[in-house]
Amino acid sequence: MSFLKWSWKWTSLAATSIALFLGLFFSSIRLTGVAIGTVVTIGSAPVFSGALEWILWKSQPTKVWGIATVMAIG
């Protein structure tokens, strides 16, 4: 795929999302500490990715995803 045909809309969305994540992540680290901030980030990532997949792509997460997410959080 050529960069001339690259989707700038999705690239801009990804860049904005990463910038927001980093800014919010580091401000939460400052308030709560490295250990709590990292554990919450790692534990919540599967939940949010499954929810976004369900909302955006109308694809309900599988049972395997649910079990793995519960095991990761628990």
Give the other-Cβ count within 10 Å of 9's Cβ.
Answer: 8
Going from N- to C-terminal start, the domains of the chain cover: 8-73
pLDDT value of residue 33:
94
pLDDT value of residue 63:
92
Is pLDDT larger for residue 4 or for residue 29?
A: 29
User: 10-66 pLDDT, tens per residue?
Assistant: 899 999 999 999 999 899 899 999 999 888 888 888 888 899 889 998 998 899 988
CB-based contact 67:41 (threshold 8 Å) = no
CA-based nearest residue to 47, from 27, 26, 73, 29: 73
